[in-house]
Amino acid sequence: MLLLALLVLGTRPAQASHLLGGEMSYRYLDATGPAATPFRYEITLTLYSNGLYTNANPNGIAAPPVSAPIDIYNRTTGARIGSYNFNRTAPTPTNTNLPPPIAPPVPQGCAVSGPSQPFYLCKYVQTVNLPVSFDGYYAVYSVSARNNTLTNINNPSGGTGGNVPLTLYVSMAPPLIYNRSPVFSDTAVAIVCQNDTTITLNNAFDPDGDRLVYSFGTPYGFLSSNTTFPPLPQPVPYYPAYNAANPFGTGAGNFATINASTGIAKYGARNIGLYVVAVDVSEYRTINGVEVLIGTTRRDLQLVVSTCPPTTPPVLPTPVITPRNYTIEEGQSLSIPITATQASSNHPLVLTVNSALLDGSGPFNTTFNGSTGVVQAGNLTGTATATGNGSVSGTFIYNSACGQARTTPYDLGVTVKDNGCGGKLASDIFRVTVTRAAGPNAINGPATVCDPATVRTYTAAGPVPASYRWRITGGTITSGQGTNTVQVTWASANTTGTLSLKGVSTYGCLSDSVVKTVDIRPLPALTAVAAAPSICQGTSTTLTVTGVAGLTYTWTGGGINSTGTTVTVSPTATTTYTVTGTDGTCSITATVTVTVTPPPTANAGPDVVVCPSPVGAPGPTVQIGTAAVTGFTYSWSPATGLSSASVAQPTVTLPNTTGAPITQTYTLTVSSGPNCLSTDAVVVTVNPAAVADAGPARSTCSGVASAAIGTPALAGYTYSWSPATGLSSASVAQPTVTLPNTTGAPITQTY
């Protein structure tokens, strides 16, 4: 109850030990927590503790805290989600049988004067279940338990009460951004030699491969509020002449610089003491083509400035001799021999390489000096060492494997420490960039397929690997697998197909995938018809097309250019028309042929006049029309008196029982195809039967003109007498007869 009350009041009170600094990290686990708080995060707090402060023993080492209070805040609302009490996981859960504290060893006979700062490296690890937050969370640790014998930080209590505040926090990405924060590779407590340049590492490893940027920050003191976050904690109160940029003070010989890319820090201090420094490492990730800040991890540390014996520091080989940056392709091996020397000294040297690649029995096949590395509990990096006197050497060997490429390099934190009298060290960062196997970066070929049955060709573009690996969905690779060009037949049942390609390197590693999405949109067949597929020359017909909705059409052929669904055409010869339908991307065609037949010539022949048949006999017969033409059909109307109404030259037989001429008009229709015909007419006249009347027999005297013979003439008749002997005229209806008779008996003449 008392503890809870203290938590509510604000910054936690002084703990049972003095803190030299610390850092926080986290990793997202999964979403398998309770329904209200499904998102599980593992949070790690690291504290450097130099034990319980008492008036009787102000510099004594005592038990470090067995638990640590941590608050979680919603980064969207700023509201506190909950308070947690993390139990210590290292060096031991309790203070029973604690191992000795960590202290820089001083060789026998050496005199290193200055503050002594042995410490416990305490770890507090716990999994918490959190509710949804689209912007993420803050995990905050805040106590008034910082070491109160600091040179650059003011003690607000003005005494030895141990209530100098220390606040650590880590900004946690939301669950949608799967992330694990960077973890520092080495411990934070270090000795800086007075009036000398000391190089230390603040390098961190990011398991997600995010780009890391290192910088100095202002250490945090009192927590501004314990109910909302932000506001951010208040900066620590510096003594005059000290600040975050000048943690050792101003003036010549005091400096602090940090490499933003590697975290290598260089320190110089003129005065012995304990100094607080804060190092921030910010992680950046490219999301949707834009690099964004994922979060920042804070390291709060104390540096001990001591007087070191005048000893030349160890020297690592220059970058010209041993480069600091290496680039290999995944699957390739790398060997880096590293040798450090110390001039005019036979001191024992320890060459230490710290890297995530030295993961012991982990997936990386890496050794240094024959060791695969030792990974301490809770660390992401491992270490391996080599030793020597005056000179030390070791070879870093990395046999990379497929899948180990990443955009950010793997760092090797290399430290050479003089374990003899002097304690000098040299540090540097070696970087190994593992690139993805080179491979194609594009696929050339049609992105839209309108006729899936047609074989399509696709070709890889970009860097050329040793071989190629193609995969397809929605179609079939018919040939070319393993080469840079494949033949593909797409399935018409699909609307979308994908073709993916990876290169295969000489080391057997796959390059990044390049994917081409193909729009498969076969159009159903068009139907094109003619209202009259066969027409007579000089006439028209209508063409019509039907297809799926949304198409636009274009007609071509026979000199037309139309965009309607129907078109009227008047070809002069048999013509095939093409109609093309398109949806704007794909097109489909259909054809329709209109057969044109030349018009026939109908010839019924000349008009004819006939006489009737004798009484009792059929009428007179006459032939009408003209000779038949092959391919034509004939039709006469009416059929009266015709021998056939469907031949080219029928015969006509018509009686005439009247006394006057009769006429009959016959119409001939000649067809050379459907709707292709012509007509003509012929008139047949049948005159009435002629009536011959020579009159009564006559008697006359010789030499005396007789009366006329015959009967009066009829209109329209012609007359002919035979013989003409004695006649006044042989061609009139009533000639007169004059005949001599010189005999003694009567003579008779028949006309």
C-alpha closest to that of 441 among 423, 459, 455: 459
C-alpha span between 370 and 350 (Å, rounded): 15
pLDDT digits (tens, 9 = 90+) for 250-274: 999 999 999 998 888 889 999 998 8
For residue 426, what is the DSSP state? E
Q: Which two tokens stand for residue 254?
A: 């005091």
Mean pLDDT of 615-626: 77
Q: What pLDDT, on a 0 to 100 scale, did the predictor assign at position 5? A: 30
The confidence score (pLDDT) of residue 422 equals 66
Backbone phi, then psi, for 259, in 5-degree steps?
-80, 120
CA atoms of 158 and 479, how far apart (whole Å): 84
Amino acid at 474: G
Looking at residue 106, what is its pLDDT? Answer: 60
pLDDT in tens, 701-740: 876 657 789 999 888 789 999 999 889 999 999 999 888 8
User: pLDDT by residue (tens digit) across 42-56?
Assistant: 999 999 887 644 444
Give the per-residue pLDDT at 149.
79
Query: How many C-beta atoms lie closer than 10 Å to residue 722's C-beta?
Result: 9
Peptide bond into 638 cis (omega under 30): yes
Task: Summarize pLDDT for 204-224 with one digit per residue, the tens.
Answer: 888 888 999 999 998 998 888
Which residue reads 């006459």 in tokens? 622
Mean pLDDT for the chain overall: 86
Q: Note the pLDDT tens digit of each residue in 198-208.
A: 888 888 888 88
What's the pLDDT score for residue 621?
83
Whether 190 shows a pLDDT value over 70: the answer reads yes
Q: What is the pLDDT, as a whole number, of residue 618?
A: 66
- Residue type at 15 in one-letter notation: Q
Distance CA 267, CA 170 (A): 26
Using pLDDT thresholds of 50, 70 and 90, give the confidence band for residue 14. very low
Say whether pLDDT at 309 is over 90: no
What is the C-alpha to C-alpha distance for residues 126 and 692, in angstroms, rounded to an integer?
A: 149
Q: What's the pLDDT score for residue 722?
A: 95
- Where b means 16+ CB within 10 Å and e means fewer, 465-485 reads beebbbebebbeeeebeeebe
Strand partners, 561: 556
Q: Are 15 and 161 in contact (CB under 8 A)?
A: no
pLDDT at 374 over 50: yes
Query: Would you state the pLDDT for residue 111?
Result: 62
Is this structure's pTM higher than 0.85? no
The residue with tokens 């001599």 is 740
pLDDT reported for residue 172? 92
Residue 202 burial by CB count (10 A; 0-12/13-18/19+): exposed, middle or buried? Answer: buried
Q: Residue 259: is it exposed, middle or buried by C-beta count within 10 angstroms (0-12/13-18/19+)?
A: middle
- Residue 615: pLDDT band with limits 50, 70, 90: low
pLDDT band at 195 (very low <50, low <70, confident <90, very high): confident
- At 675 the pLDDT is 74
In this structure, the dihedral spanned by the alpha carbons of residues 249, 254, 260 and 265, taken in order and rounded to 10 degrees, is -110
Q: Which two tokens stand for residue 28?
A: 């997202």
Q: What was the pLDDT predicted at 704?
A: 67
Please give the average per-residue pLDDT across 475-498, as a whole number.
91
Task: Choose the weakest-confidence range: 15-24, 226-235, 562-571.
Answer: 15-24
- Which of these ranges, 175-179, 193-197, 576-580, has the smallest mean pLDDT? 193-197
pLDDT tens digits, one per residue of 661-701: 889 999 999 988 777 888 999 999 988 878 888 999 988 88
| Residue 579 reports pLDDT greater than 80 | yes
Q: Which is nearest to 516 in space by CA: 489, 491, 497?
A: 497
**What are the pLDDT digits (tens) for 100-155?**
777 665 665 566 666 667 788 899 999 999 999 988 999 999 988 887 778 998 87
pLDDT in tens, 655-668: 887 878 889 999 99
Above 70 in pLDDT, residue 584?
Answer: yes
Q: Is the alpha carbon torsion for 27, 33, 34, 36 positive or negative?
A: positive
